[in-house]
Structure 1
């Protein structure tokens, strides 16, 4: 083989290898499972790697709570909305709840879809869903006829609250309750 032909073949191979390298998609490494895989009441343990907002619905324009580094987040489900995969979490440290893009979470997400999470009931009345279990927190809503699923109960200031997800409008939050309702503790 002549030297010129050899260089041409080598150049072509090099171009193929380099172009294949640049056009091959890079797969993101999967997130590790939580070191604490036990389920404490409800949800899988997760954390944020830096301070992040928790949104009252799966969209960046909704009311915001907070999650801080080191907070114990109970992630119960995920949902795709507008090209973003969101995790629904309850922050056990500050009692805020909400949706967060799963890319901001440190550990693997639960396999549960938010589309079928909780025990659904049809709302008989209009009521407020608070982003934490207190009347002064951010407010979402449920209207009569909405499919509102209770996920768990929480006790704050000696009152019962059901953490709920309104499947009709995507709002999540706490609503005052008369007792546990047979739901697990948050």
Structure 2
């Protein structure tokens, strides 16, 4: 293609079909049926031939999964929250030094996996709410209050949720360790190793 080929009316920009191509098929006319083959598009400079006769479609995907593993183990007087640090993107690894942990208070820790951008936004919003709570009540948020706040925050975004999957762990007012597991819209389960039924 010559240098002036991009300036022609039927030319494409960056390999995409032009908006209007003379003599190209524009769909079925009244009376056309599935048995009739549509007219083949005219080929000219910059026209990309397509096997499908439907309209050109674009798709916006707002989510991506950056992976990650998070876990929490709780016992009678302890809770351990851990995560990996690898950020994945398809088959590549853009970083091996990403933190997924948020220290909410001295006794409450959150770990998140899923989409990195949503995780960072969620953690930033949680930090602001924790500071506001501390200023209003002159004390740190308890484990029970933090777990309910996180559930409410996720549920209010249920129609366009944060693409994060969270575990929250900590020590409650009685000194007992608990862990909470969340899905993307705030449904959660509270578990502890010593509270589970023992077999045998």
In which range does the TM-score fall when normalised by the shorter chain? Answer: under 0.3
Higher strand share: 1
Structure 1 or 2, whichever has the larger Rg, is: 2
Q: TM-score, normalised by structure 2?
A: 0.25
Identify which of structures 1 and 2 has the higher relative contact order when contacts are C-alpha pairs closer than 8 Å and 6+ apart: 2
